[in-house]
Chains A and B, each alone.
Chain A
């Protein structure tokens, strides 16, 4: 049973435009959400997180939005750069226990 879902396997965006990556979850006990970025032949690296007590968290070009009622979060990258091309995973946890990952979205930023 996939508790965290990323329904878009891939996304292509022009350089300088906004990239929006989406993630849905089913477990209402999740209280902490993260986005990881993965380049080929490397492990995932932490990008940004959000606690369920917030609905937005911003770090430079990256903003994560959380809609608890819809059980939905999104990652916005503005402006998108070619170096942002990677696979993005969202992950969720309940009370800091086991993390559940989505299947990933492959982002391609076209120069």
Chain B
């Protein structure tokens, strides 16, 4: 069984640029959630995708957007990068959409630095 993978591992961008982060969900999982973890903070929910549709969103502006593909992999796109977007971005997969008490399996994250 393949776990959750994310790419790239690290990324450096400058303010105003756009970035795309990628996530492959665990085998058999149809739901992907994205989290932002700033330094010294816990993960904060950005949004969730279930069956290729956004299925819940946290308190993040529209310049944070996403996609889910038929194979349940997912992308997180961030436009007009700001310095405060520097963080670890975590992807988590699970079965069954939301609401759900099913366990989430996290990937190792992508470390984004905005200069």
Residues of chain A lying within 8 A (CB to CB) of residue B58:
98
B108 close to A44 (CB less than 8 A): no
A111 at the interface (CB under 8 A from B): no
Number of interface residues of A (CB under 8 A): 25
Residue ranges of B at the interface with A (Cβ–Cβ < 8 Å): 4, 35, 40-45, 48, 56, 58, 90, 92, 98-101, 103-109
SS of B interface (majority): loop
Q: Are B108 and A41 in contact (CB under 8 A)?
A: yes
Name which residue of chain B comes closest to A42, CB basis.
Answer: B108
* Separation of A32 and B98 alpha carbons in the complex (Å): 14
Do B44 and A43 touch (CB < 8 A)?
no
- Distance (Å) between the CB of A86 and the closest chain B CB? 13
Whether A96 and B108, one on each chain, are in contact in the complex, defined by CB atoms closer than 8 angstroms, is: no
Decide if A4 touches B101 in the complex (CB within 8 Å): no
> Which residues of chain B have C-beta atoms less than 8 A from A62's C-beta?
none
Contacts of B100 in A (CB 8 A): 96
List A8-25 residues whose CB lies under 8 Å from chain B.
Answer: 9
A residues near B56, Cβ cutoff 8 Å: 97-98
> Once the chains bind, are A44 and B90 in contact (CB under 8 Å)?
yes
State whether the Cβ of A95 lies closer than 8 Å to any Cβ in chain B. yes
8 Å CB contact of A43 from B40, B101, B103, B109: B109
